[in-house]
Structures are given as structure tokens and as C-alpha cells.
Structure 1
């Protein structure tokens, strides 16, 4: 199990396939808060998204690798307030 304290601010979050998912702003409430610059497009742009810590498979230096591929991992993202992005 990954300890939340192991996750560094500004670490890259990647899917199991190596695809860029986002950049860590910080860990809060059992979730990784992604920076706004990685917030997506359209109505999802310009605010923070969150990834559940349960999806973290490994920490590789300054990278957080998820257990799901990048295109699948973004379906688990939540917006402020816990609302699913998809």
C-alpha cells in the first residue's frame, strides 16, 4: 500500500501505460489533487480534478504510476465536491 506522504507535489501522474494523466498539486482527503493546468478541456477546464489514492500502483521517483491506463484513469477523476468527471 502506498503512503500518501510518499507522493511529492509537482510529481507527474501517469497511467499504467505511461500516458500523462496530470501533475500532483497535493494529496488531500485520500485523493490526489491535480493542478489546474491538467484540468482537461471544455467544461472541465480551469479547476482541480482528483484521483483516488486507491488507483496508485507505485511511486517511481518523481512519477506516480496508476494501476489503470491513462484513458481509463481519467474516468475515475472527480471534480471539486466529489462529482465524477465522466
Structure 2
């Protein structure tokens, strides 16, 4: 599988596929982040900090999106509904 993205593209980790997460981060850390996302319905900046990962690219670029509070609540509801 291959996906081409424009040079300056935000990536929402709450919608990213496991394959993309494994490309962005160490595969073991990506697996733990995915497990956290599946368990709580979203990822937060604190979750990234716990795994000691930073957004790819320039430090502080903010191009990795973990979502707003309303989006996280919505994601959590969707996650619970899928179970």
C-alpha cells in the first residue's frame, strides 16, 4: 500500500492507519499508541509524550494532529459503538 501526500500535510493520528503509524514511529511504539487509541477512542499529546515520540519533521511544527476535545469525545463514542 502506498499513499502520496503533499509536502506540507497535517496527519491526524486519531484517523491514521496502523501502517502509517508504523512508518511515522518505531513500530513497537506505534502498536502501543494504536492500542491506547483503540482503548480510549483517541490519542492526546500526553499519550505521545508517554511513548517519548515527537511529530516527524521540524520540532514544534504541530503538523501531527491529535484532535480537539469535541472530536475526541466523538471518536470515543464511535469507538464504543463499534465494540
Same fold (TM over 0.5): no
Q: TM-score, normalised by structure 2?
A: 0.29
Q: Greater relative contact order (Cα 8 A, min sep 6): structure 1 or 2?
A: 2
Determine which structure has the larger strand proportion and give its number: 1
Q: TM-score, normalised by structure 1?
A: 0.28
